[in-house]
Amino acid sequence: MSVPAATEGRRERNKRVKAEAILAAATELFTEKGYDAVTTSEIAERADVSNGTLFRYARTKADLLVTVLNERLTRGCERGVAMAHHGADPVEAIIALLHPLAETGLAHPEIVVAYQRELLFGANPTRDSDLGQVEQLQAAIAEILAIVRPAHGEDERAFAAYALYSTMYMDLVRVGVGRASAEELPTTLRHTIRTLLARLLPAG
């Protein structure tokens, strides 16, 4: 028996609302308590859904973490590129891309470690697409560089984007594994970006 279109529409809306509630709850709890201290039962309770419903949307807590941070990074990319289009300092536009991870790392460094671990070594069947979504950071850096350093060639900008992405990524990882200070991360990132830009794509 076919399902009426109106009923089908309500079902899809219900799914979307529940998925949004679960992700919002996971985001709030990870931000408040860190990754290790949060349980899936707490996330389900905060989202006002059953454990069974939660596991229909995400197999594990790690899946939720990856989804939450990937969505935040997507918004960071959009914001950074928009800032560059509006004439912002290129350092601040590039910082905006990584702000979601940097902000998280300041409060709970273990979240960054867990996120990278799951992306690189997790068994999530969507890992390839997740990694592709993170790689959009490098593409967003290249887009910003095309706006703020148009006089340089595309190959030069592509290499600079790669160098910036790789170096900033390692700055974040060092904080996550306890080899650098979380409090100094914003200063470190700005110094990294400003130095590499001056060396690889000097203004004027």
The pLDDT confidence band at residue 1, using thresholds 50, 70 and 90, is very low
* pLDDT, position 8: 54
> Residue 2 pLDDT > 90, yes or no?
no
Helix (H) or strand (E) holding 98: helix 90-107
* CATH code for position 180: 1.10.357.10
Q: What is the pLDDT of residues 51-73, one digit of tens each?
A: 999 988 888 898 888 888 888 88
Assign residue 116 a region: left if phi > 0, alpha if psi is -120 to 50, beta otherwise? alpha
Q: What is the pLDDT of residues 70-101, one digit of tens each?
A: 888 888 999 999 999 999 999 999 999 888 87
The pLDDT confidence band at residue 203, using thresholds 50, 70 and 90, is confident
Q: 2 or 182: whose pLDDT is higher?
A: 182
Write out the residue range of the structural domain in which residue 21 sits: 1-58
Residues 155, 97 share a domain: yes
140 within 8 A of 75, measured Cβ to Cβ? no
Residues 156, 96 share a domain: yes
Q: What is the pLDDT of residues 110-162, one digit of tens each?
A: 787 788 788 777 666 666 676 777 788 899 999 999 999 999 999 999 999 99
The SS3 call for residue 29 is helix
115 contact partners, CB below 8 Å, separation of at least 6: 65, 66, 69, 101
Count how many domains the chain has.
2
Select from 144, 19, 135 the least CA-distant residue to 73: 135
Q: 184 or 83: whose pLDDT is higher?
A: 83
* CATH code for position 53: 1.10.10.60
Considering Cα of 143, then 201, then 101, then 187, what sign does the dihedral take?
negative
Residues 171, 95 share a domain: yes
State how far the alpha carbon of 91 is from the alpha carbons of 120, 161, 163, 186, 191, in Å: 28, 12, 14, 11, 9
Residues 143, 54 share a domain: no
